[in-house]
Amino acid sequence: MRTQVAIIGGGPAGLLLSHLLHRRGIASVVLESRDRAYVERRQRAGMLEQGTTDVLRESGAGERLDREGLVHHGLELRFGGAGHRIPLTELTGRTVTVYAQTEIVKDLVARRLEDGGDVRFEARAVEIDPAAATVTYRQGGRTRTLEADYVAGTDGFHGVSRPAVPGVRTFSREYPFAWLGVLADVPPSTDELIYAHHDRGFALHSLRSPKVSRLYLQVAPDEDLAAWPDARIWDELAARFATGGGWELRQGPITDRSITPMRSFVAEPLRHDRLFLAGDAAHIVPPTGAKGLNLAVSDVTVLARAFAERYASGSETLLDGYSETCLRRVWRAEHFSYWMTTLLHADPHADDFARRLQRSHLDYVASSRAAATSLAENYVGLPLP
Catalytically active residues are 72, 195, 287, 291, 379
Cβ atoms of 267 and 165 within 8 Å: the answer is yes
Cβ atoms of 148 and 135 within 8 Å: the answer is yes
What does R_g of the chain's alpha carbons equal in angstroms? 21
Instruction: Give dist(CA 323, CA 103) in Å, integer.
Output: 29
Instruction: Give dist(CA 240, CA 262) in Å, integer.
Output: 20
Instruction: Give dist(CA 205, CA 361) in Å, integer.
Output: 21
Instruction: Give dist(CA 139, CA 120) in Å, integer.
Output: 9
* Omega within 30 of 0 (cis) for the link into 221: no
Instruction: Please count the other Cβ atoms lying within 10 Å of the Cβ belonging to residue 79.
Output: 20
Beta strands 169-184 and 28-31: pairing type? unpaired
Largest CA distance in the chain: 65
Cβ atoms of 241 and 203 within 8 Å: the answer is yes
Cβ atoms of 127 and 136 within 8 Å: the answer is yes
Cα–Cα–Cα angle for 202, 192, 57, rounded to 5 degrees: 115
Ramachandran bin of 365, using left for φ above 0, alpha for ψ from -120 to 50, beta for the remaining angles = alpha
Bridge partners, 75 (sequence order): 86
Q: What is the DSSP string of 88-111?
A: HHHHHS--EEE--HHHHHHHHHHH
Q: What is the DSSP letter of 362?
A: H
Cα–Cα–Cα angle for 178, 73, 304, rounded to 5 degrees: 75
| C-alpha distance from residue 53 to each of 61, 98, 145 (Å) | 9, 10, 35
Q: What is the DSSP letter of 382?
A: P
Instruction: Kindly report the backbone phi and psi dihedral angles of residue 175, in degrees, each rounded to the nearest multiple of 5, phi listed first.
Output: -105, 150
